[in-house]
Amino acid sequence: MLHLASRSPRRAELLARLGLDFGVIDLDIPEQQGTDEPAAEYVRRVAREKAGAGLLQVVAVPGAVVLGADTEVILDGVVFGKPTNAEDAASMLRRLCGRTHEVITAVSVVSAAREAQAVSVSQVTFGAMSDVDIDSYLASDEWQGKAGGYAIQGRAQAHISHLSGSYSGVMGLPLFETAALLRQFGLLA
């Protein structure tokens, strides 16, 4: 049985697109980048920690497989996590405007017998956003709980001039890489 170790409705929606039945494990894993920890390693570590913590909750279930993922927005080596408030989100958006940033999503799949991980790296370019544009976006509350203060699948699309990489990866679960991992565990044909 597959279990998704995530509270993200976006990840559940994306995983469902693969046509699999799965359970959801509600976890609260601290997402704190270590001192001098490179951004990519941080994302990989958090995904592994989520999957591992999820496995601990279902280890008694025969054949349990747990998927954990983490997505972060990175600009100039700085990880833009989830904004703490609207002011923080506005600051992030202002820094992203007119620039290309990376979105890294790591996916870890674990069972009692094995572990595998894949990483998706995408480049996203924001066009210019006026203060009115940013205020309007913030008023939608779409920024809440989103790395970098935006959701590519929502109103932010109107401000993204270019995407190179995985759209589903920027949303929070790269389906190509996820499907490949799940095939390794015999969950997809």
Tell the burial category of 75 from Cβ atoms under 10 Å away from its Cβ (0-12, 13-18, 19+): middle
Please identify which of the residues 21, 26, 70, 141 carries the catalytic annotation.
Answer: 70
Whether 70 is catalytic is yes
Question: Which long-range contacts link 129-132 to residues 24+ away (Cβ below 8 Å)?
Answer: 129/93, 129/94, 129/97, 129/159
The three-class DSSP label of residue 123 is strand
Catalytic site residues? 70
